[in-house]
Amino acid sequence: MQVTNIMTHHFIRLTPETTIQKVLELFLEQRQDIACVFKDGEFTGIVTRNSITRLILQHAQLEDSIERAIINPVVSFLEDDSVFKAKEVLLHSNIAHSVIMNSKKEVTGILSRASIVTGLITESEHLAKRLRVLMNHLSSGVISVNMDERIDSLNEAAQNLLGNQKNDQILDKPISSVIPSILPTVKEALKTGTAFETMKIDINHTTLMYSVLPLKEWNQIIGAMIVLEDVTKYEKIASELESTKKIEQTLDNALELAYDAVLLTDSAGMITKANQGFLNMIEVDSLAEVIGQPLRKVAPEIYRSMASLGEETQGMYVNVKRNKAILTKKTMKKEGRSIGTIIKIIYKQLDAWKELFAHMDKLEHELNHYRQELSRVSQLNTTFSQLVTISPLLQRLKQEAFTAAQGFSSILIVGESGTGKELLANGINLASGRKGSFIKINCAAIPEALLESEFFGYDEGAFSGALKGGKPGKFELAEGGTLLLDEIGEMPLSLQVKLLRVLQEKEYERVGGTKTRKSDVRILASTNRNLLQLIKEGKFREDLYYRLNVIQLEIPPLRKRLEDIPILCEHFMQKFQRYNPKGVIGVTTDAFQKLQKYNWPGNVRQLENVLERAYHFCSENWITDYHIQLETTTPQPNQNTLNPSYPTKTLFPKKQMEDTEKEILLEALAQTKGNKTEAAQLLGISRSNIYQKLKRYGVITTFQ
């Protein structure tokens, strides 16, 4: 029993400033003799009725504080300490109370001697009840006699052995009137304290074994205990053991006569029986090397083959110690519970089975191929799950992207704005299995003056305003991982040269640095521009193009996969419901038809925006063609786009644009040591404009 089971959980809490009068009132009101004192939430000691009395005898006034009556240190116990330990400590210390604390040294209760006495009495009563229950459930008969040779207790088993006599018919009777033949032994045990064991006696035509044990208390004999056992059940057990031994001998002989390898295991997989055929197959000399050993250690090939099998298997093809074999397994059960397994392995003279084995080898290879394909398709669906589609065009592209992701070559992703180039890049990164980070940089969103430091980082002192310790670039952050160069067509020629060097030589230096750093980064690039046209115009390096364009993946526009519109609508509806749950169930057939007749110059991004507007303004259960608002104006063609009929400028979410702008402002201020005029000149904007932007992003006080 632990002290937490008997302690007082509700105790008086005081502070050192509490008055003597208040404490006495609390003692009387709550009928307690002890209180805990806390100062600023920390336990500082206890006060007791005795310590308060001593303080009053020292001429203290009732209005005085109890500070001089606080007892510290105090005897304390942990919640899981035993009651017996607490009893010994309190008796040895000659104190009446102690404090109980938890593992955090927080006071959780008070323990008194009275609580211990009550707890021990309760525990004794509980143990007595358990002892009575135990005695009554023993299969052996137990009778106790006192020094007058009279019966003072017996259990139910003893009543049954004595002919189902009731307690009131036996209790307090002399043992001589109940079992006369046992009286001499009882007398001797009471007189000399000698124990007598395993002697025979006949009662009611039943042969019993009995023992007489003297009972002592404080080294004085106070009585004797008689234990009765029915010999009949032991004779039955002996007969069963003999039968079992004969069966086991028969089984051993049958195993040895078996031509094939046979073994038995228990429910835990330990080998209990095996024949010589099994020893020959695993090339072991004696049974002692395998009996009692786990099957997984003795014959791991068999253990692995059985791991995926059911309770009964016939004709499984396995390899054991370079031998082709046929395995048969059967689970042994008793009362529906497995108690072991019988395993038979045919491995001798299997030349006639060669064609079967060849066919099974072929099936095994085909099965492995299908497993690999299933795993590949499963992984493909997981890594590219954000690209929602049923279109054969995009499905084929996802398969090509998954295959490309397994390699190390640079990948160029092309496609119109809004087709999902970044989603495809995310999937490629996931499928690549590279351990490093996935870093994205938008080449069109960063001023040319800052691009080099963004890509390669800079060392301390590289320029005015450089951060102490320098700053890592995107290549450094993506080490061991993947770097996505978004809008690669917007990269200045000056930076293209340095990027080409990194791709060719796998090394770079920070701005202002002299240390050459090795680069292990997988490069992905994306664009909606026609890079070949840019090469003709002298705006993009041809050698960089071919270095990036090792593998090209082109995402088809939405107008070429209109069959995806229904599934995309369902995907976006679920997305809107997560952010703003309302009663919109889906999109009607008329709305689908209207959506599929549109040309979608903005592709999937435009479709999401159209559906988002319809979702917000729909007050019904279904979005109809009435809610679908489509732009009727045709964007102006741009000769640099992949498809001249559609715009090239990528639409970025507002939050992403604001974050990028804020980062650029801070970088410019760092380079100019906080000089806003120089920063404005560096960025090509007015001084008042830079103040407005800093105020908008809450960083106007960052630089003075």
Q: What's the pLDDT at 128?
A: 66
Instruction: Please identify which residue in the block is written with the tokens 């189902």.
Output: 164
Q: What's the pLDDT at 680?
A: 80
Q: What's the pLDDT at 700?
A: 42
Q: What's the pLDDT at 134?
A: 65
Per-residue pLDDT tens digits for 586-614: 888 888 889 999 999 999 999 999 999 99
**Sequence-distant contacts of 682-690: CB under 8 A, at least 24 apart:** 682/447, 682/449, 683/447, 684/447, 690/665
Do 230 and 236 meet the contact criterion of CB atoms below 8 Å apart?
no
Decide which of 147 and 164 is more confident.
147
5: β partners? none
Record the tokens describing residue 313, joined without a space: 């298997």
Instruction: State how far Cα 12 lies from the chain centre.
Output: 43
Q: Phi and psi (nearest 5°) for 488?
A: -60, -25
Tell me the average pLDDT across 304-328. 72
Q: What's the pLDDT at 646?
A: 34
**Torsion angle of C-alpha atoms 55, 59, 61, 66, degrees rounded to 10:** -20
Domain 258-348: which CATH number of 3.30.450.20, 3.40.50.2000, 3.40.50.1010, 3.40.640.10 = 3.30.450.20
Q: What's the pLDDT at 637?
A: 39
Q: What percent of the chain has pLDDT over 70?
A: 82
6: closest CA among 81, 102, 105, 88?
81
Per-residue pLDDT tens digits for 241-297: 776 677 777 677 666 666 678 888 888 889 888 888 888 888 888 888 888 889 888
Residue 90 has pLDDT above 80, yes or no: yes
641 — pLDDT class (breaks 50, 70, 90)? very low
Per-residue pLDDT tens digits for 190-221: 888 888 887 878 777 777 888 888 988 778 88
**Torsion angle of C-alpha atoms 676, 679, 681, 683, degrees rounded to 10:** -130
Record the tokens describing residue 598, joined without a space: 């549109």
Per-residue pLDDT tens digits for 330-347: 888 888 788 888 888 877
Residues comprising the chain, all counted: 704
Q: What's the pLDDT at 558?
A: 93
Q: What's the pLDDT at 647?
A: 37
Residue 654 has pLDDT above 60, yes or no: no
Q: What's the pLDDT at 35?
A: 92
Relative to beta strand 337-346, strand 261-266 is antiparallel
Residue 653 has pLDDT above 60, yes or no: no
Residue 663 has pLDDT above 80, yes or no: no
Q: What's the pLDDT at 639?
A: 38
Distance CA 436, CA 441 (A): 16
Tell me the average pLDDT across 147-156. 85
Q: Phi and psi (nearest 5°) for 627?
A: -80, -15
- According to the per-residue pLDDT averaged within each range, which of 12-16, 315-319, 490-494 is highest? 12-16
Domain 384-554: which CATH number of 3.40.50.300, 3.20.20.100, 3.40.47.10, 3.40.50.1820 = 3.40.50.300
Q: What percent of the chain has pLDDT over 90?
A: 16
DSSP H or E segment with residue 245: helix 231-257
Q: What's the pLDDT at 83?
A: 83
CA atoms within 13 A on the CB side of 495: 20
Q: What's the pLDDT at 258?
A: 65
Q: What's the pLDDT at 412?
A: 95
Tell me the average pLDDT across 139-152. 86
Listed in sequence order, the residues at least 6 apart from 456 whose beta carbon sits closer than 8 Å to its beta carbon are 473, 475, 476, 498, 508, 509, 510, 511
Listed in sequence order, the residues at least 6 apart from 187 whose beta carbon sits closer than 8 Å to its beta carbon are 149
Q: What's the pLDDT at 535?
A: 92
Same fold for the pair 138-234 and 258-348 = yes
DSSP 459-474: -TTSSTTPPTT-B--H
Topology given in CATH for the domain delimited by 654-696: Arc Repressor Mutant, subunit A (1.10.10)
First to last CA, the chain: 69
Q: What's the pLDDT at 559?
A: 93
Instruction: Please identify which residue in the block is written with the tokens 């929602």.
Output: 388
Tell me the average pLDDT across 100-121. 83
Q: Per residue, what are the HEC states of 366-377?
A: HHHHHHHHHHHH
84 — pLDDT class (breaks 50, 70, 90)? confident
Provide the 8-state DSSP code for 141: E
Q: What's the pLDDT at 638?
A: 41
Q: What's the pLDDT at 374?
A: 55
Q: What's the pLDDT at 462?
A: 65
306 — pLDDT class (breaks 50, 70, 90)? confident
Q: Is the CATH number of domain 3-122 3.10.580.10?
A: yes
698 — pLDDT class (breaks 50, 70, 90)? low
List the Cα angle 294/297/299 in 5-degree steps: 100
Record the tokens describing residue 528, joined without a space: 């909606």
Other C-beta atoms lying within 10 Å of the C-beta of residue 187 = 15
Q: What's the pLDDT at 315?
A: 65
Report the chain's mean pLDDT, rounded to a whole number.
Answer: 81
Decide which of 538 and 381 is more confident.
538
At the second CATH level, the architecture of 138-234 is 2-Layer Sandwich (3.30)
Provide the 8-state DSSP code for 489: G
- According to the per-residue pLDDT averaged within each range, which of 248-257, 423-432, 690-699 is highest? 423-432
Q: What's the pLDDT at 466?
A: 66
Do 320 and 280 meet the contact criterion of CB atoms below 8 Å apart?
no
Q: What's the pLDDT at 554?
A: 94
Domain extent listing, the chain: 3-122, 138-234, 258-348, 384-554, 654-696
- Helix residue spans in 384-438 (DSSP H): 392-405, 421-432
Q: pTM of the prediction? A: 0.41
Per-residue pLDDT tens digits for 358-416: 677 677 677 666 655 555 555 555 678 788 888 889 889 988 998 898 888 899 999 99
Residue 64 has pLDDT above 50, yes or no: yes
Q: Phi and psi (nearest 5°) for 200?
A: -95, 150
How are the residues of the chain apportioned to helix, strand and coil, as percentages rounded to the nearest 5? 45, 25, 30
Tell me the average pLDDT across 33-48. 90
Decide which of 169 and 266 is more confident.
266
Residue 234 has pLDDT above 70, yes or no: no
Other C-beta atoms lying within 10 Å of the C-beta of residue 597 = 9
